[in-house]
Amino acid sequence: MMAIMRRRPSPSRRAPWLALGVAAVVLSGCGGHDGTGAAGETAPEPVATDDAGDEAYLEVPGDVVLTAPGSELALGETAVVAWQPTTSSTGVVELSVDVLQDAPPEAFAGWLLQGQGAEASPYFVGITVENVGDGDLADARLPLYLGLDDGSLVPAAEFGAEFVACSSTPLPEPFAPGDDVGQCLVYLSVGGRAVTGLVFQPAVDVAPVTWRLTATPTG
Closest CA relative to residue 87, chosen from 128, 121, 46 = 46
Average pLDDT of the chain, as a whole number:
76
The pLDDT tens digits for 144-177 are 999 999 999 999 988 778 888 999 999 999 999 9
How does 22-53 read in b/e, with b if 16+ C-beta sit within 10 Å? bbbbebeeeeebeeebbeeeebbeebebeeee
3-212, what's its fold? Immunoglobulin-like (2.60.40)
Contact 124, 166 (CB under 8 A): yes
The pLDDT tens digits for 96-127 are 999 999 998 888 777 655 555 567 889 999 99
Q: Where are the domains of the chain?
A: 3-212
The pLDDT tens digits for 7-38 are 543 333 222 223 333 333 333 233 333 333 33
**pLDDT at position 13, please?**
29
**pTM > 0.85: yes or no:** no
Contact 5, 19 (CB under 8 A): yes
